[in-house]
Amino acid sequence: MGDIRLDAGIELAERIERLDRAGALFPLPGVAPGDRDRRARGFALLLRNVRFELLRQREYAALDRLLERMAARARVIGDHDLAELARLLLRHNRWLTGRFEHTDDLLAGAASSGTWAALDDVFSSFYANTLGWFSESMRRLRRVEQASAAQRRAAEFFVGLDLRLACAAWKFWNRGELSDYAGMHTDSGFLDDVCGRRYPGAGQSRAQLLLAAGTFYLHHRNYALADRYLTGSFEASSGTGSRLYPRIASALALCRHHQGDAPASAAYFTAASAGLPEHFGPTGWQLRLVAYQRMLGDTEGALGHARRIRAETEAKHEVVHNIWARIYELDLLNELHTSSVAAWRLLDEAASRQMSRACAFIVERQRLAPA
């Protein structure tokens, strides 16, 4: 596999050097969102598949170099669409690793090419979610849903997910904090179609939506629905070998604990913890491991993990997950009481980000604190 990835990367680099006309990407080939066939040829498919493979291998620096090379060549030949695509893919790569100077860098301005408007919006909705700009994330997602068929097709090609499923998933992630239930009836009906396999979405796209919905209902203490969607997420993924499995298992650990199934919850926690060395993307799922340890009374383990998450989210500028890590840390230190200055500051910070669930958690812990 490594040789295939390396050879494809070399071939793509050579093709970038030989680009001599605008429109080298078009027309985009017709492929399924989850297609990862590394044998495919043609510039657009090579770029798509090499990028996915480098991301899978977490070869972020190599991907940066390749995209910077593409951007430079696109500017030389005057291919505006290609240059803009390189900029958007570079920005996404730097969000994944936290290698950006200011949070405004992720959302300042809009795509200068109408071709990539939906791609810009769907990526920006991800960034806005982790930065705590939930209303902006919802606005972007709804704009993606209204984009032209051509713009959606172009975005889907490079996101690698079914956009209808991806947008629904991130709306559920936003609703995990933001009390915005506009369109919830429509999204829930679509969710049931997906869970019941009445919508033919790609496996990973379906797994991500069901994970987001299951986690949403877990947060709202509807454990029966949470279990249904989380189990569906596992079934839609590639099983225990899936890169999503630790995230799914972390949610199932909490869900089964609340349902009184201690052996199953412990097994899921162990499976999720085993995925920590290989974790990727946003760090929020690890907070579920802290919540599990906290419920079982493992204060030392939960505190150590919360502090590791706090440090990592600070480095990656994951504002929302950092706030939750600090909330858990104060709670584990019994510092969320009403006389705690740090607790009130965290409450203000969470409120400024419209984090209604986080605010409710702090207030509830203050209510339960000894007088």
Which residues does 159 contact at the CB level (< 8 Å), separation at least 6?
A: 33, 119, 122, 123, 166
Tens of pLDDT, residue by residue over 203-245, are 889 999 999 999 999 999 999 999 999 999 999 988 788 889 9
Structure confidence at residue 1 as a pLDDT band (50, 70, 90) = very low
Say how far apart CA 28 and CA 341 lie, in whole Å: 55
Tens of pLDDT, residue by residue over 299-346, are 999 999 999 999 999 999 999 999 999 999 999 999 999 999 999 999
Of the three residues 97, 121, 145, the one that is the final residue of a domain is: 121
Write down the pLDDT at residue 145: 95
pTM value is: 0.93
- Residue 2 pLDDT greater than 50, yes or no: no
> Is 364 a domain residue?
yes
Write down the pLDDT at residue 106: 80
> Is 310 a domain residue?
yes
Of the three residues 87, 121, 155, the one that is the final residue of a domain is: 121
Please tell me what DSSP assigns to residue 244: T
Count of structural domains, the chain: 2
Q: Is the distance from CB of 356 to CB of 177 less than 8 angstroms? A: yes
Task: Give the structural domain span for 20.
Answer: 1-121
Please tell me what DSSP assigns to residue 29: P
Of the three residues 101, 121, 141, the one that is the final residue of a domain is: 121
> Is 330 a domain residue?
yes
* Average per-residue pLDDT for the chain: 91
> Is 138 a domain residue?
no
Write down the pLDDT at residue 350: 97
Q: Cis omega (within 30 of 0) on the bond before 246?
A: no
> Is 103 a domain residue?
yes
> Is 153 a domain residue?
no
> Is 35 a domain residue?
yes
Which is higher by pLDDT, 62 or 100? 62
| SS3 (DSSP) at 33 | coil
Say how far apart CA 141 and CA 199 lie, in whole Å: 20
Structure confidence at residue 252 as a pLDDT band (50, 70, 90) = very high
Write down the pLDDT at residue 183: 92
Contacts made by residues 176-181, CB under 8 angstroms, sequence distance 24+:
176/215, 176/216, 176/219, 176/357, 177/132, 177/134, 177/320, 177/353, 177/354, 177/355, 177/356, 177/357, 177/358, 178/134, 178/135, 178/138, 178/354, 178/355, 178/356, 179/356, 180/134, 180/135, 180/138
> Is 300 a domain residue?
yes
Which residues does 160 contact at the CB level (< 8 Å), separation at least 6?
A: 33, 34, 36, 48, 52
